Amino acid sequence: MDNTQYDFGMVGLGVMGRNLLLNIADHGFAVSGLDLDPVKALALENEADKGKPVKGTTNAEEFIQSLKLPRALMLLVPAGKPVDSAIASLLPYLASGDIVIDGGNSYFPDTDRRVVALAEKGIHFFGMGISGGEKGARFGPSMMPGGDRQAYERLRPIFEAVAAKVNGEPCVTFLGNGSAGNYVKMVHNGIEYGIMQLIAEIYDFMKRGLGLSDGALQQVFADWNQTEVQSFLIEITGEILKKLDEVTGQPLVNVISDRARQKGTGKWTSQNAMDLQVPLPTVDMAVTMRDLSAYKDERVLAAQQLGGITANNSGTEATEIINQLRSAFYFAMLVTYAQGFVQLRTASKAYNYELEMQEVAKIWRGGCIIRAACLEDIRQAFNTNSDLPNLLLDPNIGAALTQHQADVRAVVKLTVDKGIPMPALLTSLSYFDAYRSAVLPTNLIQAQRDYFGAHTYERIDQEGIFHTQWS
């Protein structure tokens, strides 16, 4: 009989769950895994290094009883009802003081509900975002836990050991109360949507607008990853573009459908931003473009019926345009991060998370999908001013945006002339221009609302609420 007392447990031994548990084992912790599929339970033990205390089982009671008190276990199962089902199956064997962590992309109100329900039984519930994919899980992810601060101390040594490291600092920290971890991961995914859309637009412009070859496109992104736009998403774009399809011999990306899929986290980010009245236009547009991509048949028909225009480069050399595109991407990427951090700041106040923006930026610098060189600048901005309402107001980031705005405007003119859609880039520039406008035309909207609905308005020269009989 196995008498080992295991430090940490994992429920759900798919690729992510198994890889993260093996990562924990590699750092000297005894681990146990539970899965209803005996093949997955056995695969966990087979993939572990010989001699390491790693146990796979299909028996929930045996799994729970094998864990050290207070027990710490993570669920890595699909979001939604599977999480509730997994909790219900484990509850008969759990005790007061135990810690249950949901490591999936759960919608944050579900996490709040589970925190309250399990607290009534004395059980601590954590929602923890995990970013980095299966490779990150195995060798060092970014992790975003939220829940009870004191209970986190039971988890901290394990999580800090297995997280990605940047300059020796682990890419994990206690983020805040309740569903703070799931919320931060949701916004992370929204930013991810925005940056991926920006990269896709720039790829499209270079391919259709400049006529770059597949090899030249790949080289551009490889070169860019050595510049100020260095990031995981730029890096993998260069890797993707050189992968050949085994069937056709073409670059694989050229035979992949352009109907984009999504799991909903980007939509959740946009919806919640609207609830909080936080403008998030770049992410909103990224979600919209994924939705539009699904209308493939109509787009093919429209391509035949709706004529465009053909414009030359007006004498601008391709090399110069490529440099402008890199500059424009850097500008829009910073604006996308800025929008996301405003949402985090607003949500922290609304939901009592007590988030620290510099800590969020710190743990996003490594391991996660949106890791990028500019996150160190963002971290420094919040270190300098923890109450910074918007990154655009940081002197250094504001100066960088101002420096690059001429290139964004040049690219916008080119894309409009050529009829190649770059909506996320245009939206990012419009956000910048709107944010720096001391006066916006919403005074007219207020007048219109009062005209047709007697919704009233405020004046700039008098205090109070006013209504006019317009006709």
- Known binding residue 193? Answer is yes
Residue 321, token pair as written in the block: 């345009």
Which ranges of 352-422 does DSSP label H, i.e. alpha helix? 357-363, 374-384, 395-418
Q: What share of the chain is helix, strand, coil (3-state, %, to 5)?
A: 55, 10, 35
For the chain, the farthest-separated pair of C-alpha atoms sits apart, in whole angstroms, at 88
314-326 per-residue burial string, b: 16 or more CB within 10 A, e: under 16: eeeeeeebbebbb
End-to-end alpha carbon distance in the chain: 88
CA atoms within 13 A on the CB side of 324: 22
On whether the CB atoms of residues 59 and 37 are closer than 8 A, the answer is no
* Residue 105, annotated as binding a ligand: yes
Q: 263: annotated binding-site residue?
A: yes
Closest CA to 343 of 397, 400, 394, 275: 275
Sort 116 into a burial class: Cβ within 10 Å, 0-12 / 13-18 / 19+: exposed
Nearest-angstrom CA–CA distance, 342 and 355: 12
**Kind of pairing, strands 169-170 and 165-166?**
antiparallel
Q: Which residue carries 């206690």 as its tokens? A: 174
Flag whether 449 is marked binding. Answer: yes
Q: How far apart (Å, rounded) are the C-alpha atoms in residues 11 and 100?
A: 10
352: CB partners within 8 A, 6+ apart: 177, 178
Residues that are catalytic:
185, 192
The rounded distance, in Å, linking the Cα atoms of 42 and 71 is 23
In b/e form, how buried is each residue of 17-28, taking b as 16+ CB within 10 angstroms?
bbbbbbbbbbee
Cis peptide before 70 (omega within 30 of 0): yes
Contact (Cβ atoms closer than 8 angstroms) between residue 33 and residue 44:
yes
CB 386 within 8 A of CB 358: yes
Q: Is 314 annotated as a binding residue?
A: no
Is 27 among the annotated ligand-binding positions?
no
Residue 71 known to bind ligand: no
- Residue 18 annotated as binding? no
DSSP 159: H
Q: How many CA atoms lie within 13 A of 87 on its CB side?
A: 26
Is 455 annotated among the ligand-binding residues? yes
Which strands, in side-by-side order, build the sheet including 8-11? 54-57, 31-34, 8-11, 72-75, 99-102, 124-131, 142-146
Could you give phi then psi for residue 69, rounded to 5 degrees? Answer: -90, 145
**Residues in binding site:** 105, 131-133, 188-189, 193, 263, 290, 449, 455
Residues flagged as binding site for substrate = 105, 131-133, 188-189, 193, 263, 290, 449, 455
